[in-house]
Amino acid sequence: MNDVLHKLPGFIGNHLALVALFVVLLLAIIVMEILTLFRQYKELTPGGLTLLINRESPLLVDLSAYADYEKAHVPGSRHVAMSQFDPEHKDLAKARELPVVLIDKDGRGASAKAAQRLVKAGFTKVNTLGGGVLAWQQAQLPVAKGKNP
């Protein structure tokens, strides 16, 4: 260990670009983790969503493209196009105190943006499905196909 500490200044001097890249990546990871801690909605795993469905009957909103929704979606979810997603819609406003779970195809964007809009509109129990429908399928949980029920 003592030998490593003696060689560290020489390594840093010889590999400035590598060390700078390491520091930038480390800071980016720290910032992302801090932002995750302070966001006002939760990201659920497929198992966590299953528990929530069994305990509280949440409103499931699927924001995937309609073609993707017809191929596979979480049973009981309702399709809403992201372009038509409105937290102030009369049907959605009724669910202000209920748990709401936002789902998209891969969990990479639409659900997080919609979750931020719901939190801003005063919804208190907002969740997203991490990894979206793809994570649900990878967990080998049942999917529904076709149109809204």
Which pLDDT score, from 0 to 100, does residue 14 have? Answer: 92
Q: Check: CB of residue 143 under 8 Å from CB of residue 46.
A: no
Q: Token pair for residue 97?
A: 């105190």
The model's pTM: 0.78
The C-alpha angle with vertex 61 and arms to 70 and 131, in degrees rounded to 5, equals: 80
What is the tens place of the pLDDT at every residue in 28-77? Answer: 999 988 987 788 899 999 999 999 999 998 999 999 999 999 999 999 99
Distance CA 26, CA 113 (A): 25
